[in-house]
Structure 1
Amino acid sequence: MEFSKRFFVTILFVSYSVFARSIHQNNDQQSTAHFDEKNEDHWRLQAQWTLRTKVFAPLNTKVAKNIILFLGDGMSITTLAATRVYLGHKYKHFGEELKLSFEAFPYTGLAKTYCVDQNVADSACSGTAYLTGVKANSGTVGLSGAVKRGDCESQKDGEHSLTGLVDWAQRAGKRTGVVTTTRVTHATPAASFAHSADRRWESDSDLPNGFQCPDIAKQLVRGKVGSRIDIVFGGGRKNFFPKSEKDAEGHYGYRSDKTDLIREWLIKKINLGVPAKYVYNRKQLMKLNKKENHSVLGLFSPDHMPYHLEAEEDDPTLSEMTVKAIELLDNKNGFFLFVEGGRIDTAHHEAKARKALDETAEFAKAVEAALRMVNPEDTLVVVTSDHSHTMTYSGYSKRGTDILSFTNKLNATDNIPYTTLSYANGPGYRPHDNFIRPSPTLEDLQNINFTYPALVPILRETHGGEDVAVFAKGPWSHLFSGNFEQNFIPHAIAYASCIGPGLTHCSV
């Protein structure tokens, strides 16, 4: 799906321009002046337009037939702000004044992301919170805080296993789907269907010797919730077939138990009378149709899917996977779809800010593509993140400065330029030579793999502990206002869509 300027020239400009012209319809010259930021009326009109949209916006209290939960992994508020400028510079705007597709949603809140045992969350405990409604320990997936990381026995007895949005939607007769740019067995998507005492147990080859816990890939195919998911798109193909075998693209598998879970998944669906298909490239994905393909397993890479900036022609984009999932899931009873832009996080861990911002832009495109396909009156769309990162945005640069370059005010006391974006820790640490900071001007900032400077040396940049933004549009989206615990999110979604064991709109 090709990027268009309509993506970021959002309601802020489209509707605002209509509003401004309606006031000055008889004076074209005066109306034009209101798009000059140096003109005070520009800011008054903009604020008045925003006020009117909020004052006159009706509350939607209908039942949410469809639910789409978008998760930008590691998408901090700093990442959002930087991505606006990244897109603005790319398309000859300033950028700070723009909005990503979901930033135009009518309701916004802040979610607190800490784990039960840790003040900075990982994707496993946070995924458990926003998908099941219960906070958990770091490194654990789909299990309560009573289970410590690595406790295989507690995982096996099932006493502390948690169900969540995917299970609740399935019980309500809705179709379900999971889409991600990471391995489908990675911590975030795994939290939607699996119960694992360690997020790293994606394949049986990852289990310590003697451990008999079912791995995450096996739970997707054999699990009570995983086996009933209708659409699964993402990477991680290697975790589904043996080490001794190659896939159609010549990559070896990673399983030690000699099990071909892809074949098992197909046979299981066929035995249930479900039209099912396995696909592994973009061409096959685009050929899928609702009439013939009721259930689809799409594994498009042996590992994580490639970054958008490095993808090849046969790698589907997040937008394409999202659009196809909605096409296939749409039905009279509704659906629940979970979509993760997972490579925002991996790029930040590598301190590769350019890739992180580009992945965020791709994520926003997927949200926009989904909005064009659904009815906002009966579809609740929630966009959020699981945790932040340590990337900072600083320096007093002039408007229009490339966000991925240097600040254009050299006010460092050592008179050495510095980048607008940097990290508190990570692989981008440069050792000082005789107490002199190395100059980044000697490096190629235009390289997509440029590693941005960090204050503290560490092989892999860490997450941050601050709150993350939550954006909502559709039925009962006003529930997502204010500051709340991350585990509140699925409870509010369940209320709006009348699913799950708790209080719902239908039970009031």
Structure 2
Amino acid sequence: MASQQTATTVGFILLLSVTWTFSVIPEDEVHPSFWNNKGKQALHKALGLTPNVHRAKNSILFLGDGMGIPTVTAARILKGQSKNRTGEEFVLAMDTFPYLALSKTYNVDQQMPDSAGTSTAYHCGVKARYGTLGLSASAIRTNCSSTFGNEVKSVLHRAKMAGKWVGVVSTARVQHASPAGSYSHSADRAWYSDADMTAADLRAGCRDIAYQLVYNTDINVILGGGRRYMFPNTTVDPEYPKSRGDRGDNVDLTDVWLRNKTERQVCVEQSRV
């Protein structure tokens, strides 16, 4: 195996911050008893929790891409200040959940992670290389041949195999790395459609992310952007006449998905007769 030398560059960033000061502090907050009582209340509330031992009917994973502790803190302060409060003392809805935990996601080969490697971590439970989706760390980015044999299963795929209905909903493209980690196995997060891949990779058997969205797992609900990657480049967008699809294989993946759903529904109805 050839050795790889990595050059590390250390950069210094000057951060200019604005410190907010408040001339008027709530009167009760200057007394230690106020904070002691709040601590007691939090402890009593935690001790009074009754575990829910019932089996969950559904599981929904909400993901805020890049939503680390500093981002949540900033959101809490902003929300509080929008209500004419200082901000830090405000409580977000997620802060009221009975159980909270932290999850550490990262790439094995780069300190600053990306949405593909972290998506693989939280969807599949496996740490991966930067820019790869649904693959173990044995796969190498942009290396099509490293895909095969290194695929890892996601919680969405496992749920479908267990007989559940599954869905993907995104405010971004449904082929974006964050949702794509739940259904695709791609050596490059940028392989949105076949037009983004080389002819050699396609001949080798690698498929684009949009293709895998339809063919890898029978997903029941798909909501989000990115339809250009689902249509042939000869198809005019239904909302924007000046835009066309992106695919070069002349396949309408939305039609494939709808047709498969119709065929399955017919089979289900026939089995009930």
Q: Distance in 2 between matches of 1:130 and 1:175?
A: 19
- In the other structure, the counterpart of 1:330 is none
8 Å CA contact retained: 2:132, 2:189: yes
Checking the alignment, whether the CA contact within 8 Å between 1:241 and 1:253 is kept in structure 2 is yes
Match of 1:129 in 2: 121
Is residue 58 of structure 1 aligned with residue 35 of structure 2? no
SS in 2 for 1:69: coil
Q: 1:47 to 1:35 in 2, by over 3 A?
A: farther
1:270 aligns with 2:262: yes
Aligned CA distance change for structure 1 residues 256 and 111 (closer, same or farther; 3 Å): same
Code of the aligned partner of 2:39: A
Instruction: Specify which of 171, 189, 212 is matched with residue 219 of structure 1.
Output: 212
Cα-to-partner distance string for 1:120-164 (whole Å, 9 max, x where unaligned): 221111111111111111111011111111111232x3x111112
Letter paired with 1:168: R
Which blocks of at least 5 consecutive residues in structure 1 are unaligned? 1-33, 276-508
Q: Assess if the C-alpha contact under 8 Å between 1:129 and 1:135 holds in 2.
A: yes
Take 2:199 and 2:31, find their aligned partners in 1: how far apart are those partners?
A: 70
Q: What is the RMSD computed on CA atoms of the aligned residues?
A: 2.0
1:177 and 1:229 in contact (8 A); partners too: yes
1:258 corresponds to which letter in structure 2? N
Alpha-carbon separation, structure 2, partners of 1:86 and 1:274: 51
1:79 and 2:71 aligned: yes
1:405 equivalent in structure 2: none
**2-side partners of 1:42 and 1:234: how far apart?**
47
The Cα of 1:84 is off from its aligned counterpart by 1.2
Q: Is residue 200 of structure 2 the alignment partner of residue 210 of structure 1?
A: yes
Q: Any conservation in 2 of the 1:113–1:120 contact (CA below 8 Å)?
A: no
Match of 1:171 in 2: 161
Aligned match of 1:46 in 38, 47, 53? 38
Q: Which residue of 1 aligns with 2:227?
A: 237
Higher relative contact order (CA 8 A, sep 6+): 1
The aligned residue for residue 247 of structure 1 is 237
Give the superposition deviation at 1:40. 4.1
Shift of 1:72: 0.8
* Identical pairs, percent: 43
Q: 2:27 and 2:225 mapped to 1: Cα distance?
A: 45
- Measured after TM superposition, the shift of residue 107 of structure 1 is 2.5
Q: What do residues 3-54 of structure 1 show as CA deviations (whole Å, max 9, x unaligned)? A: xxxxxxxxxxxxxxxxxxxxxxxxxxxxxxx984335443233211111111
Question: How many correspondences in the alignment?
Answer: 237
SS at 1:147's partner residue? coil
Counterpart of 1:307 in structure 2 is none
Q: CA deviation at 1:190?
A: 0.6
Secondary structure of 1:66's aligned partner: coil
2:185 pairs with 1:192:
no
Deviation per CA, 1:31-87: give whole Å up to 9, x if none. Answer: xxx984335443233211111111221233433322111111001211111111211
Give the distance between the partners of 1:185 and 1:58, measured in 2 at CA: 40
Q: Distance in 2 between matches of 1:274 and 1:141?
A: 34
Q: Deviations over 1:147-187 (max 9, x none)?
A: 111111232x3x11111211111122221111111100011
Counterpart check, 1:91 vs 2:67: no
Query: Quick check: 1:180 aligned with 2:170?
Result: yes
- Please tell me whether the aligned partners of residues 123 and 182 of structure 2 are also in contact (alpha carbons under 8 angstroms): yes
Per the alignment, in what secondary structure is the counterpart of residue 181 of structure 1? Answer: strand
Question: Cα deviations across residues 455-478 of structure 1 (Å, max 9, x unaligned)?
Answer: xxxxxxxxxxxxxxxxxxxxxxxx
8 A contact 1:35–1:42 mirrored in 2: no
d(CA) in 2 for partners of 1:270, 1:112: 41
For 1:274 and 1:195, how far apart are their aligned partners in 2?
A: 30
Corresponding residue SS for 1:232: strand
Deviation at 1:109, TM superposition (A): 2.7
Pairwise CA distance, 1:197: 0.6
Task: Map 1:221-370 onto structure 2 (within 5 A).
Answer: 221-223=214-216, 225=217, 228-250=218-240, 251-273=243-265
Q: For residues 273-302 of structure 1, what are the alpha-carbon distances to aligned partners after superposition, in whole Å with 9 as ceiling and x for unaligned?
A: 269xxxxxxxxxxxxxxxxxxxxxxxxxxx
